[in-house]
Amino acid sequence: MFPALSDAEDWHDLVVTLDDRGLDVLANAATLATGSLRPSSGPRSTISPDELHRLIAHFDICPHVGVGLSTALAEMGALVWANGVVPSDPACVAHLHPPALVASAVTELTVAATNQSMDSWDQSPAGTEIELHLMKWLAELIGISARGSGVMTSGGTASNTLALTLARSRMAARVNVDVLKSGLPREAENWRVVCSDQAHFSVQRACAQLGLGRDAVVAVATTATGSMEVTALDHELERLSQAQQQLLAIVATAGTTDLGAIDPLAPIAERARRHDAWFHVDAAVAGAYLLSEHLAKELAGIEFADSVTVDFHKLWWQPFNASALVVRDAKSFDILRVTSAYLDRGDEVEGMENLVARSLDTSRRFDAAKVVASLRAVGKNQLGKMLEHLVALARYAGTVIESQTRLQLVAPPMSVMCVFDARDATGDDLRRVQQQLLMRGEAVLGRTVIKGRAALKFTFMNPLTTPDDVDRIIRLVVAQLDSL
Rounded to a whole number of angstroms, the CA Rg of the chain reads 25
The count of domains in the chain is: 3
| Rounded CA separation 11/16 (Å) | 10
Angstrom distances, CA of residue 120 to CA of 112, 162, 356, 363: 17, 19, 6, 9
Cβ(197)–Cβ(184) under 8 Å?
A: no
Q: Is 409 exposed, middle or buried (0-12, 13-18, 19+ CB in 10 A)?
A: middle
> Has residue 310 been placed in a domain?
yes
| Rounded CA separation 152/103 (Å) | 19
Q: Which of 52, 43, 118 is nearest to 88 (CA)?
A: 43
Please determine, for residue 9, whether its predicted confidence score (pLDDT) is greater than 70.
no
Phi then psi dihedrals of residue 190, to 5 deg: -105, 10
Please determine, for residue 8, whether its predicted confidence score (pLDDT) is greater than 70.
no
Please determine, for residue 61, whether its predicted confidence score (pLDDT) is greater than 80.
yes
- Residue 396 pLDDT grade (very low, low, confident, very high; cuts 50, 70, 90): very high
- Residue 465 pLDDT grade (very low, low, confident, very high; cuts 50, 70, 90): very high
Q: Do 320 and 397 belong to one domain?
A: no
Q: What share of the chain has pLDDT > 90, as a percent?
A: 93
Q: Which of 220, 417, 212 is nearest to 314 (CA)?
A: 417
Cβ(193)–Cβ(207) under 8 Å?
A: yes
Beta bridge partners, 265, equal none
Single-letter amino acid, residue 308? V
> Has residue 108 been placed in a domain?
no
Q: Do 174 and 319 belong to one domain?
A: yes
Alpha helices in 17-95 (DSSP H): 20-35, 49-57, 69-79
> Has residue 98 been placed in a domain?
no
| Rounded CA separation 132/128 (Å) | 6
Number of Cβ atoms within 10 Å of the Cβ of 189: 12
pLDDT on residue 1: 67
| Rounded CA separation 372/133 (Å) | 10
Beta bridge partners, 453, equal 450
Q: Do 389 and 335 belong to one domain?
A: no
243-263 tens-digit pLDDT: 999 999 999 999 999 999 999
pLDDT on residue 431: 98
In this predicted model, which residue has the larger pLDDT, 398 or 40? 398
Phi and psi based region of residue 156 (left: phi greater than 0; alpha: psi -120 to 50; beta: remaining):
alpha
Q: Which of 267, 276, 260, 198 is nearest to 230 (CA)?
A: 267
Cβ(207)–Cβ(216) under 8 Å?
A: yes
Please determine, for residue 183, whether its predicted confidence score (pLDDT) is greater than 90.
yes
Q: Is 400 exposed, middle or buried (0-12, 13-18, 19+ CB in 10 A)?
A: middle
Q: Do 189 and 273 belong to one domain?
A: yes
**3-class SS of residue 220:** strand
Please indicate, yes or no, whether the overall pTM of this predicted structure exceeds 0.85: yes
Q: Do 363 and 388 belong to one domain?
A: no
Dihedral sign for Cα atoms in the order 118, 122, 124, 125: positive
Q: Do 455 and 422 belong to one domain?
A: yes
Q: Do 332 and 461 belong to one domain?
A: no
Q: What is the CATH number of the domain that holds 235?
A: 3.40.640.10
- As a whole number, the mean pLDDT across the chain is 96
267-279 tens-digit pLDDT: 999 999 999 999 9
Per-residue H/E/C for 253-298: EECCCCCCCECCHHHHHHHHHHCCCEEEEECCCHHHHHHCCCHHHH
Cβ(179)–Cβ(211) under 8 Å?
A: no
pLDDT on residue 116: 97
88-100 tens-digit pLDDT: 999 999 999 999 9
Q: Strand 217-220 and strand 307-311: pairing?
A: unpaired
Q: Which domain holds residue 426?
A: 380-483
Please determine, for residue 235, whether its predicted confidence score (pLDDT) is greater than 70.
yes
Domain boundary among 378, 409, 433: 378
Q: Is 377 exposed, middle or buried (0-12, 13-18, 19+ CB in 10 A)?
A: middle
Once rounded to an integer, what is the mean pLDDT over residues 46-53?
96
Q: Is 270 exposed, middle or buried (0-12, 13-18, 19+ CB in 10 A)?
A: middle
Domain boundary among 323, 354, 378: 378
pLDDT on residue 294: 96
> Has residue 8 been placed in a domain?
no
Please determine, for residue 360, whether its predicted confidence score (pLDDT) is greater than 80.
yes
**Burial per residue of 125-151, b for 16 or more beta-carbon CB atoms within 10 angstroms, e otherwise:** eebbebbbebbbebbebbebbeebbbb
Q: Do 216 and 339 belong to one domain?
A: yes
Contacts of 268 (CB under 8 A, 6+ apart): 228, 230, 233, 250, 252, 279, 301
Q: Do 368 and 426 belong to one domain?
A: no
> Has residue 231 been placed in a domain?
yes
Please determine, for residue 313, whether its predicted confidence score (pLDDT) is greater than 90.
yes
Domain boundary among 378, 408, 443: 378
> Has residue 111 been placed in a domain?
no
Number of Cβ atoms within 10 Å of the Cβ of 248: 24
Residue 9 CA to its chain's centroid (Å)? 42
> Has residue 91 been placed in a domain?
no
pLDDT on residue 358: 94
pLDDT on residue 229: 98
- Residue 339 pLDDT grade (very low, low, confident, very high; cuts 50, 70, 90): confident
Q: Do 331 and 405 belong to one domain?
A: no
271-309 tens-digit pLDDT: 999 999 999 999 999 999 999 999 999 999 999 999 999
Q: Do 47 and 148 belong to one domain?
A: no
Please determine, for residue 10, whether its predicted confidence score (pLDDT) is greater than 90.
no
Alpha helices in 88-201 (DSSP H): 102-114, 125-142, 156-173, 179-182
pLDDT on residue 282: 98
- Which of the residue ranges 114-128, 233-247, 333-347, 467-481 would you say has the lowest mean pLDDT? 333-347
pLDDT on residue 12: 86
Q: Do 79 and 167 belong to one domain?
A: no
Q: What is the CATH number of the domain that holds 70?
A: 1.20.1650
> Has residue 33 been placed in a domain?
yes
